[in-house]
Amino acid sequence: MLKGSTRVAVFRVKERMRLGASLKQMHTPSGKKWFVVPGREVDPDIARLVIAESDVHPSKRRPLPRH
C-alpha cells in the first residue's frame, strides 16, 4: 500500500496528464530525469508508479480519459 504522500503525488501527476501533459524521461546535465511536460521534474519512483497504472497509455504516457 502506498503512503499518503506518495498516493497524492501519483494522483497529482495523473491529473496533470489528464489535462494534456505527458510524462517524459529527458536527458539533463546530471543524467536522465522524469518530467511532466509542461510542468516540472517528477521523482523517479513516482514516475514508475504512474507508468505502472493500468489506465496510463504507454505510447503517450497519458491516462486514458475518464469515463
Q: Which residues pair with 56 in a beta bridge?
A: 63
Q: Where are the domains of the chain?
A: 4-60
CA-to-CA distance for 2 and 13, rounded, in angstroms?
15
CA-to-CA distance for 23 and 3, rounded, in angstroms?
22
36, 23 Cβ separation under 8 angstroms: yes
CA-to-CA distance for 45 and 10, rounded, in angstroms?
10
pTM of the model: 0.77
Q: What is the pLDDT of residue 56?
A: 76
**Where residue 1 falls among pLDDT bands split at 50, 70, 90?**
very low
Q: What is the pLDDT of residue 67?
A: 37
8-67 pLDDT, tens digit per residue, is: 999 999 999 888 888 889 999 999 999 998 989 999 999 999 988 877 776 655 555 553
